Chain A
Amino acid sequence: MKVIGISAYFHDSSAALVIDGKVVAAAQEERFTRIKHDSGLPLQAVRFCLDYAGLTIDEIDHIVFYEKPLQRFERLLVTHLAEFPKGGGQFVSSIGRWLSRRLWMKNEWIRELGCRADQILCSEHHLSHAAAAFLHSPYETAAIVTADGVGEWVTTSIYRGITDSSGSRIEKLQELIFPHSIGLLYAAITAYLGFEVNEGEYKVMGLAAYGTPRYMAEFEKLCKVNDDASLVLDMDYFCYNWHATDAFTPALEALLGPARKPHAKLTLPAVTDDDRRYSDIAASLQKFTEAYMLKLVQQAQKLTGEKNLCLAGGVALNCVANLKLLSEGPFESIYVQSAAGDAGGALGAALYMTHVIGGIPRRPELNHAFLGAPVEKSDVVRFFSDCGVPFREFATTTEMCRAVVDCLMDGEVGGWVQGRFEHGPRALGGRSIIADARQPYMRERVNKKIKYREEFRPFAPACLAEDLKKWFVLPEGRVEYMTPFMCCVANVSEEGKKVLPAITHVDGTARVQRVEAAHNPVFHELLSIFKEQSGVGVLLNTSFNLKDEPICNSHGEAFATFMRSEMDFLVIENCLVRKEDCLRLSREEYQADETLVMAGRN
Chain B
Amino acid sequence: MISTDGTLSMFVRVIAPVVWRNDSKVAAKFRRFSATEAGSALDMLKAAELEKDSRRRKLFFRHALDEARHSNYFRDHARQIDASEAGLNSRYDLIHATRQNLYQGLPLVDFVAFVYLAERRGAAHFRSLESHFKDRPEIHDLFKRIGKDENFHIRYSKRLLDEWTREGRGSEVRAALRRIRLNRAWDAWRRSGRQMGDFVSRLALRISYFVVVPPFSLIQRVLQPQQHGGWLTAQQTTSNMDEMEKMF
User: Hey, which bits of chain A sit against chain B, CB under 8 A?
Assistant: 33-35, 64, 68-71, 74, 78, 80-82, 84-85, 88, 91-92, 95-96, 99-100, 105-106, 121-124, 127, 157, 171-177, 180, 224, 226, 228, 230-233, 263, 265, 353, 356-357, 382-383, 385-388, 452-453, 546-549, 554-557, 559-560, 563-565, 585-586, 588, 591-592, 594, 596-597, 599-602
Contacts and interface: CB of A to CB of B under 8 A. Distances in A.
B234 A173 contact: yes
Interface in B64-101: 64-66, 68-69, 85, 89, 91-92, 95-96, 98-99, 101
Contact of A81 (B62, B149, B152, B217): B217
B248 A68 contact: yes
26 contacts: A78-B224, A80-B209, A81-B217, A84-B213, A85-B209, A88-B209, A96-B201, A106-B247, A121-B245, A122-B246, A172-B235, A232-B228, A357-B241, A452-B95, A554-B49, A560-B42, A560-B64, A591-B149, A591-B152, A594-B152, A596-B156, A597-B159, A600-B55, A601-B163, A602-B163, A602-B166
Interface string B99-111: 1010000000000
A177 B232 contact: yes
Contacts of B209: 80, 84-85, 88, 91-92
Given A88-B209, A100-B201, A230 B230 contact: yes
Contacts of A585: 65
Nearest to A563: B68
A92 B205 contact: yes
Given A69-B247, A383-B48, 12 more contacts: A69-B248, A70-B247, A80-B209, A81-B213, A84-B213, A96-B198, A226-B230, A230-B230, A357-B241, A387-B57, A452-B95, A591-B65
B202 A96 contact: yes
Interface string B11-49: 000000000000000000000000000100110011011
A548 B92 CA distance: 9
B246 to A, nearest CB: 7
A549 B41 contact: no
B226 interface: yes
B7 interface: no
A586 B68 contact: yes
B237 interface: yes
B217 to A, nearest CB: 4
Contacts of B235: 172
B62 to A, nearest CB: 6
A576 to B, nearest CB: 18
Chain B interface helix/strand/loop/mixed = helix
Contacts of A548: 92, 96
Contact of A596 (B45, B49, B58, B98): B58
B45 A559 contact: yes
A175 B92 contact: no
Given A177-B227, A586-B65, A124 B237 contact: yes
A74 B224 CA distance: 14
B148 interface: yes
Contacts of B49: 383, 554-557
Contacts, number: 196
A53 to B, nearest CB: 21
B221 interface: yes
A596 to B, nearest CB: 6
Interface in B201-248: 201-202, 205-206, 209-210, 213-214, 216-217, 220-221, 224, 226-241, 244-248
A216 B57 CA distance: 59
Contacts of B198: 96
A33 to B, nearest CB: 7
B2 interface: no
B134 interface: no
A591 B213 CA distance: 63
Given A548-B92, A559-B45, A594-B152, A175 B244 contact: no
A549 B68 CA distance: 17
B163 A176 contact: no
Contact of B244 (A64, A99, A386, A559): A64
Contact of A564 (B48, B95, B236): B95
Q: Which 6 A-B pairs have the closest CB atoms?
A: A556-B49, A232-B229, A70-B248, A172-B234, A84-B217, A387-B61
Interface string B132-169: 00000000000001001100100110010001001000
B192 to A, nearest CB: 17
Nearest to B66: A591
Contacts of A591: 62, 65-66, 69, 149, 152
Nearest to A159: B234
A25 to B, nearest CB: 19
A175 B232 contact: yes
A230 B65 CA distance: 56
B54 interface: yes
B232 A34 contact: no
Contact of A547 (B55, B96, B98, B101): B96
A481 B216 CA distance: 50
Nearest to B227: A177
A559 B96 CA distance: 15
B207 to A, nearest CB: 10
Contacts of B65: 585-586, 591
Contacts of A81: 213, 216-217, 220-221
Contacts of B156: 594, 596-597
Contacts of B159: 597, 600
